[in-house]
Amino acid sequence: GAVVSQHPSRVICKSGTSVKIECRSLDFQATTMFWYRQFPKKSLMLMATSNEGSKATYEQGVEKDKFLINHASLTLSTLTVTSAHPEDSSFYICSASGTERAYEQYFGPGTRLTVT
C-alpha cells in the first residue's frame, strides 16, 4: 500500500517554457500532498503543501506565481514550473499523506528537471 507515482520521471526543456509534473496516489486517498525540491547533495526543501480543493500553502521564498500547484482530487496534484530557467533545474519530489497515519508521508519517484 501507499504507492505514489510521479510523471514524468525526467524532462529536459528550453528556458522560458513551462513544465507540468503530475503526482498521483495510486492506492489511497491523499488528503494532503507536498512538493519538495532537492539539489545535489542537499536536503529536501519543502516548497508547498496542498490540500484537495483548496489553495496551496507556499513556504517562504517560494514564488507561487512561478510554481503553480493544483490539487483537484484526492489522488492527483500537479506542479507547473512556469517560464523555467536553468536555475530551476533540480529534482522535484512529491509526497502524499492520507487520513490514516496522517503524519507519514509517502514519496513519489521524483522528476529530474533540466532546463537548458
Q: Does 3 bind another protein (CB under 8 A)?
A: no
**From edge to edge, which strands make up the β-sheet containing 76-81?**
4-7, 19-25, 76-81, 67-73
Q: Which is nearer to another protein, 25 or 97 (CB)?
A: 97
Q: How many residues does the chain have?
A: 116
What is the nearest approach in angstroms of another protein to the Cβ of residue 89?
14
Residues 79-108 that bind another protein (CB under 8 A): 91, 93, 97, 101-108
Q: Which is nearer to another protein, 16 or 101 (CB)?
A: 101
Q: Measured at the alpha carbon of residue 32, what is the angle toward residues 10 and 7, in degrees to the nearest 5?
A: 15
Residues 14-43 that bind another protein (CB under 8 A): 32, 34, 42-43
Among 34, 100, 42, 101, residue whose Cα is nearest residue 71: 34
Q: Does 66 bind another protein (CB under 8 A)?
A: no
Q: Figure out which of the listed residues 49, 80, 82, 89 binds another protein, where binding follows CB under 8 A.
A: 49
Under rule CB under 8 A, how many of the chain's residues touch another protein? 21
* Chain residues in the site for another protein (CB under 8 A): 32, 34, 42-44, 46, 49, 91, 93, 97, 101-110, 112
